[in-house]
A and B are shown apart, each in its own frame.
Chain A
């Protein structure tokens, strides 16, 4: 059931290709605005490149979030999912998996080229990506939970970033710090381990919280 739901979401994301691509294009365009605004000096850009990549990835991952459950809530699919016998927490986890595969994974693939374009030292790029992997996974499950929480609220689309962005601050801090440590010749291991710990914490907690929110939304 879990696999079939993920597969169904992927088929739909593929058919709505434009929506899926929008987050990726946003990521690339937002990232390339910085050299235009700050100036092309390699020293300055290279220093702030990890921060730029992380902030842009965070904002791009939030872009498609309001549709994660929004469409299902409006067209009655959410009721059918809740009555399918699948635990609500698992529904949340499946949706987060699909969100990561359609948003997080493309961002991860595009982050390397963007970082090099921003003159990040090539040696630091693998660490940036190693941080983005657990980072984007955590953002997907956090965001999916947020999407479930704002269901049924008026102006949910505005509320969602206000809810998810503060929660993603730890991910941002450790993610950017990992890349910074490498640039200064230190080991990024502690930061990467902390990112892994955040993911391990977020996966069960956010799934359960999201599941409870889905039930509450159906009651509303």
Chain B
């Protein structure tokens, strides 16, 4: 289980948020809401262990993630602002490095995001929405318990949002956790909401 204790973040000498507490248990989804600049992305990066909190701790099963960042990295799959799609690599080639289950898993993830017909296309030919879908497919090739999503629906069409919903539902049913920063409602059966910047 993931927990945050009295977390605070600074950006250029300015306090972004403080005293944020949260907890996520297996099979549960937490949505981060709040206006632009409220620190949703900052909190996502903090939970991933990429950003050090200026105050407070992020806990995994009771122990601070900063004690073993490598182990935490193995539990986390993150979808950031940027899609991290390499223009020179094919759609499948982009996922290969991150796959923990070989090519079969890459194919399954591409099918789940409706990219299976573009497998051999180089990344530079993808549209913005297709790149986003490829970045989402990267989540599915990792055996990670915790998914951290920063605006996952950005640039997605309706059909892709449905696919994302299925992907999230499958992850949650399997006992996974989701923390998502979003401005629009995600297609999730149930979730808790944490408001930042209010």
Contacts and interface: CB of A to CB of B under 8 A. Distances in A.
Nearest to A71: B86
B73 A77 contact: no
Contact of A76 (B77, B82, B96, B98): B82
A16 interface: yes
B93 A11 contact: yes
B55 interface: no
Interface in B29-63: 45, 48-52
A4 B76 contact: no
A84 B98 contact: yes
Nearest to A220: B51
A80 B48 contact: no
Given A4-B96, A83-B76, A219 B86 contact: no
A84 B97 contact: yes
Interface in A190-220: 215, 218-219
Interface residues of B, number: 28
Interface hub of A80, A82, A87, A219 (most chain B Cβ within 10 A): A80
B51 A84 contact: no
A189 interface: no
B33 to A, nearest CB: 23
Nearest to B84: A76
Given A83-B48, A84-B73, A85-B74, A77 B98 contact: no
Interface in B118-144: 122, 138
B181 interface: no
Contacts of A15: 88-89, 122
B97 A79 contact: no
Contact of A83 (B78, B82, B122): B78
Contacts of B96: 4, 8
B47 to A, nearest CB: 11
A64 to B, nearest CB: 15
Nearest to B74: A85
A85 B73 CA distance: 5
A11 B50 contact: no
A79 B88 contact: no
B172 interface: no
A43 interface: no
B93 A87 contact: no
A5 interface: yes
A12 interface: yes
Contacts of A84: 73, 97-98
B85 interface: yes
A16 B89 CA distance: 10
Nearest to A216: B52
A151 to B, nearest CB: 13
A181 to B, nearest CB: 44
B37 to A, nearest CB: 18
A85 B142 CA distance: 11
B80 A79 contact: yes
A74 B77 CA distance: 19
B170 interface: no
A11 B87 CA distance: 12
B84 to A, nearest CB: 4
Interface of B: 45, 48-52, 69-70, 73-74, 76-78, 80-86, 88-89, 93, 96-98, 122, 138
Closest 5 CB pairs of A and B: A76-B82, A76-B84, A15-B88, A85-B74, A77-B84
20 contacts: A4-B97, A8-B89, A8-B93, A11-B89, A11-B93, A12-B86, A76-B84, A79-B48, A79-B78, A80-B98, A82-B73, A83-B48, A83-B50, A83-B77, A83-B78, A85-B70, A85-B73, A85-B74, A87-B70, A218-B51
